[in-house]
Amino acid sequence: MNPIVELQDVHKRFGSNAVLQGVSFAIPKGQVVAIIGQSGSGKSTALRCIDRLETIDSGRITVCGHAVHDPALDIRALRKDVGIVFQSYNLFPHLTVEQNITLAPKAVKGLGAAAARAIAERTLRQVGLLEKAQAYPEQLSGGQQQRVAIARSLAMEPQVMLFDEVTSALDPQLTGEVLRVIEQLAEGGMTMVLVTHEMEFAARVADTVIYMHAGRVWETGSGAMLKDPQTPELRAFLSHGL
């Protein structure tokens, strides 16, 4: 099966700091991959390169048939196929939940108001927040805002979803709300890449866990590898928590 996401020997520097040093991995359609590692290991940079939020210095990235490394990439077409959710919710405070979700389908896909509203209703139902359609972000908890951010990405009907430490700003109860939504997406067959500090969640939900260290893919395997790490670096990372 051809991978839906593939990184081949990807290098990325910020000035003299080599953040990615020959990163390679491939993700088949419908798989969930969790990327773990210490701060500065390159995991969030790798994720941002998949969506062309960062350009790479060398190597190849292919996502949903798009050559992301190509300077001539149609970024608008890529963004239709790839949704990304960040730690900060980035909702427009002056728009209702429904308006936040319908904005991109109307602007990017040219959908009419009724069709966009139907998508908002469907995605809000998916994340368990249909009753909040007319609320404003400030009226929601952090967990609810993050679930709206997920619904907003789902509204573009992406083939791949990227999550960059989406629970790190939330308390344990709100974290649980958001992780349940992600788990339901996994059960529905959504291809996902998660950068996460939630080890137990990664072990349970991910088909593949990638441990990054010093800008490289250091160890990779199923969730079981978190109980039986093969490298001293991963053992140290897991024993120290974060």
pLDDT in tens, 132-190: 999 999 999 999 999 999 999 999 999 999 999 988 888 888 888 899 999 999 999 99
Q: With DSSP H G I counted as helix, E B as strand and the rest as coil, what are the percentages for the chain, rounded to 5?
A: 40, 25, 35
- What's the pLDDT at 242? 45
> Beta strand pairing status for 3-14 and 82-85?
unpaired
Please state the rounded mean pLDDT for residues 25-42.
94
Burial class (CB in 10 A: 0-12, 13-18, 19+), 202: buried
Torsions phi, psi for 49 (to 5 deg): -70, -30
Residue 85, pLDDT > 50, answer yes
pLDDT at 241: 58
Residue identified by tokens 């991959």 is 33
| Residue 175 amino acid letter | T
Residues 7 and 60: their CA atoms lie apart, in Å, by 6
Question: How many residues are given for the chain?
Answer: 242
Residue 197 and residue 37: Cα distance in Å, rounded? 8
Q: Which domains can be identified in the chain, with CATH numbers?
A: 3-90+158-239 (3.40.50.300)
Residue 87: pLDDT band by 50, 70, 90 thresholds? confident
What's the Cα-to-Cα distance from 209 to each of 4, 33, 38, 127, rounded to whole Å? Answer: 17, 6, 14, 25
